[in-house]
Amino acid sequence: MDQFLKTYTSAQHYVNSWRYPVLEKVGVALKLGVLCVAEINTTTSVYPAEDHPDVVLYGIACRDSTVASSLASTYSFKKSYDSYEDLLADPDIDFVYISLPTSLHFEWAQKALDAGKHVLLEPPITSNAREAELLVKKSEECGKVLLEASSWQFHPASHRFRQILDSNEFGGIVRTDAAISSITPVPTDDVRWQYDLSGGSLISMASVIGLTRYVLHGSTPDSILQAAATISREEPRVDSSMLATMRFKLPGIDKRSEQSNVFSTIFTDMARRPAYGLVPRVWELPSIRVETDLAEIYFYNAVTPHIYHYIAITIKETGKTSYESVYQGGPLWKDRGKAFWSADRYQLEAFVDKIRGRRPVWWIDGEDSVAQMRTVDAIYRASGLPLRPTSTMIN
């Protein structure tokens, strides 16, 4: 998430913490442990846990134990650890949130599963499909919950968006176009520019693929028709931007209907400059446009809909556009949730339900995460760039 969005979400949480009382924790709440590098993404882990009655901020570990201790004090974790291994060895911790460079996801998620912890893993789930397949298999063998934290999928706005498309009120899907770019350029020292840490705009902004596949019910492309990467000046294996066109084959609506082709473009850019050198491109927040037989349906700011979003439906015949937004309830959550909840808070609600043996209202299963990485790999191959490197833990 861009620093602008993180800052906005933090300010939003601060205001809401004054407006809405924090619920009292249950007697035996789940204990969360966080693995991070030198800082913590509060919007994805700390704030949702603070507001959940069945989760406590229990432990945090960083590469530097002094930093871990400081973060524990700042965010009221009960414990800090000298290493990731020490945190995973603590039997009191029930689940971990892993916020590490993508290249380390496979290693530390596997170690967490081996240690008997449930895992909430920052997207992308791994560096490539091979790692994803092995990690999902590992979680199934361990009987532990593994979730790729694509939190936008848990927000009521996403569910309403897909409900509109699935209603067939506007006919079948013909085409999709999705784009994600940084509002301001990703800093040159960021890990997303380093190939060895599995950097690159496509994999770092893979939500653009996730949005497309979400609209098409988890399908994978039948073909990558075109993929063109803009290469980093410093690292020829890293894409600063990616433009790709995919073809999906969808089954007919009923037995009498033939398969249909849907053509989808995706665009990612992590070196996007502010307009006129000064103005952050907030109008380019992650969005997707879906063309159907009868309308164009546009979901603005689809990846962080809790900050602000809208769904616009433009009827082709009349040119008239209607708008709607959904922050609470929707077709799946109904009377659960609060209008001020972030997408990550909705996600944590579902994650806790899964751990507790309850049926979550929405879920991303392991096979979907594997299919996501297969699509990432396919686009990298089509662009002529290498796949992101596989962990040395794999023979």
Q: What pLDDT digit, counting tens, does each position of 132-181 carry?
A: 999 999 999 999 999 999 999 999 999 999 999 999 999 999 999 999 99
Q: Look over the chain and give the mean of its residue pLDDT values, rounded to a whole number.
A: 92
Domain 6-144, CATH: 3.40.50.720
Residue 279 has a pLDDT of 72
CA atoms within 13 A on the CB side of 291: 10
Can you state the angle between helices 366-383 and 207-215, rounded to 10 degrees?
Answer: 120
Distance of CA 249 to the CA centre of its chain: 25
pLDDT higher than threshold 80 for residue 76: yes
Residue 1 has a pLDDT of 47
Residues 322, 125: Cα–Cα separation, whole Å:
36
If DSSP codes are grouped into helix, strand and coil, which group holds residue 289? Answer: strand
In the block, tokens 């069945």 appear at 54
Residue type at 245? T
Q: pLDDT per residue over 281-290, tens digit each?
A: 777 789 999 9
Q: Where are the domains of the chain?
A: 6-144, 154-327+368-383
What kind of fold does domain 154-327+368-383 have according to CATH?
A: Dihydrodipicolinate Reductase; domain 2 (3.30.360)
Residue 26 has a pLDDT of 77
Residue whose C-alpha is closest to residue 93's, from 29, 141, 146:
29
CA distances from 38 to 63, 266, 301, 364 (A): 7, 32, 28, 28
Residues 378, 279: Cα–Cα separation, whole Å:
35
User: SS3 helix, strand, coil % of the chain, rounded to 5?
Assistant: 35, 25, 40
Q: pLDDT per residue over 333-349, tens digit each?
A: 999 999 999 999 999 99
Average pLDDT score over residue span 193-200? 97
Residue whose C-alpha is closest to residue 262's, from 290, 228, 296:
290
Residue 80 has a pLDDT of 97
Residue 4 has a pLDDT of 57
Element (DSSP H or E) covering residue 224:
strand 223-231
pLDDT higher than threshold 60 for residue 257: no
DSSP classification of residue 118: E
- Under a CB-based contact definition with an 8 Å cutoff, are residues 207 and 123 in contact? yes
Q: What angle do CA 267, 272, 278 make, to 5 degrees?
A: 145
pLDDT higher than threshold 70 for residue 12: no
Q: Is the Cα dihedral 363, 267, 194, 1 positive or negative? A: negative
pLDDT higher than threshold 70 for residue 50: yes
Q: pLDDT per residue over 114-130, tens digit each?
A: 999 999 999 999 999 99
What own/partner pairs with CB < 8 Å and gap ≥ 24 does 38-42 have?
A: 38/62, 38/63, 38/64, 38/67, 39/71, 40/71, 40/75, 40/99, 41/1, 41/6, 41/99, 41/122, 42/6, 42/10, 42/13, 42/75
Which of the residue ranges 16-20, 187-191, 257-261, 340-344 would you say has the lowest mean pLDDT? Answer: 16-20
CA atoms within 13 A on the CB side of 198: 27
Give the 3-state DSSP-derived string for 246-274, with helices as H, strands as E and coil as C: EEEEECCCCCCCCCEEEEEEEEEECCCCC
Q: Omega of the bond prior to 221 within 30 degrees of 0, cis?
A: no
Q: pLDDT per residue over 237-247, tens digit each?
A: 999 999 999 99
Residues 217, 81: Cα–Cα separation, whole Å:
41
Residue 13 has a pLDDT of 55
pTM reported for the whole predicted model? 0.93
In the block, tokens 């509060």 appear at 42
Residue 284 has a pLDDT of 79
Residues 210, 183: Cα–Cα separation, whole Å:
20
Percentage, residues of the chain above pLDDT 70: 92
Q: Is the Cα dihedral 45, 339, 337, 283 positive or negative? A: negative
Q: pLDDT per residue over 206-227, tens digit each?
A: 999 999 999 999 889 999 999 9
Q: Phi first, then psi: give them for residue 67, nearest 5 degrees.
A: -65, -40
pLDDT higher than threshold 80 for residue 274: no
